[in-house]
Structure 1
Amino acid sequence: MNINDQHLRFIFFIFFSFLLCFVMLVCGYVLGGRSYFKQSPEPFESGIVSVGSAHMQVPIKFSLIAIFFVLFDVEVLYLYIWSLGVREAGWIGLLNICFFIHILLMTLFYLIRNNIFKWIILK
């Protein structure tokens, strides 16, 4: 079996990556704080004892807006990458990106038409 320099470097990289992870876990275990209670006596925030329940209902609109932001943000990354290689993509790349933008606009108009972005909070 012949191991060349590149394979040896890769093996060292993997070994030292696992070693670094192991050392970080051991240091966290050794240097970390300990709690000797089976259950903590009272929950507190910055030394202040909390009053009431921490559970609160959040409308689903917040999650939808966050998902839409992430989706459209990722599409902007695709457009940025396309803009870097626009000359190499040629006319086929231009047609593909026009189709991509068309799908994005159709999705946005569909969401607006179905009132996804309306903020009506019912009490």
Structure 2
Amino acid sequence: MSAELILASAIFIAIGVILAVVFMLTKFIGPQNKDSVMKNNVYESGVTNPVGTTNNRFSVKFYLVAISFLLFDVEVIFMFPWAVNVVDLGVAGLFKMFIFMGLLFIGLIYIYKKKALSWD
């Protein structure tokens, strides 16, 4: 066997042993909570006594706003490379970006007309 293979195997085994030792140490050194009632209580954002049940339904508006945000947020990712190379792309690149932004604006108008952004 080559020296590199032996070294890689030794490093792999050493990392495994170190991880096992660290996990064992956290079991003994870490805080112990023997009270299972407190351990199984709900804790969400600082509220220890939640209001309502888990069967409450959310309005579809939350999902529409989230999807709209993702749609218009991803378009910014396409604008960064264009902004970096705007000089190299020239007038054709500028025209193509105006078409892209125009399509996004049409999508925004469509979302506005469907009243996906208004809350009742």
- Both structures adopt the same fold (TM-score exceeding 0.5): yes
**What is the CA RMSD across the aligned residues, in angstroms?**
3.9
TM-score normalized by structure 2? 0.60
Q: Write the distance in 2 (CA, Å) between the matches of 1:74 and 1:35.
A: 44
TM-score normalized by structure 1? 0.59
How many residues are matched? 102
Q: Which residue of 2 aligns with 1:118?
A: 118
Give ranges in structure 2 of 5+ residues lacking alignment: 1-7
The CA deviation at 1:68 is: 0.9
Q: Write the distance in 2 (CA, Å) between the matches of 1:49 and 1:94.
A: 56
* Residue identity opposite 1:43 in structure 2: N
SS at 2:81's partner residue? helix
Q: Which has the larger radius of gyration?
A: 2
Structure 1 vs Structure 2: percent identity of aligned residues? 29
Structure having the larger proportion of residues in helix = 2
Q: Write the distance in 1 (CA, Å) between the matches of 2:62 and 2:18.
A: 36
Q: Write the distance in 2 (CA, Å) between the matches of 1:85 and 1:117.
A: 34
Give ranges in structure 1 of 5+ residues lacking alignment: 1-11
Deviation string, structure 1 residues 35-54 (Cα, Å, up to 9, x no partner):
99xxx6542437x5667634
Q: Which residue of 2 aligns with 1:43?
A: 41
Give the structure, 1 or 2, with the largest relative contact order (CA under 8 Å, sep 6 or more).
2
* Residue identity opposite 2:106 in structure 1: M
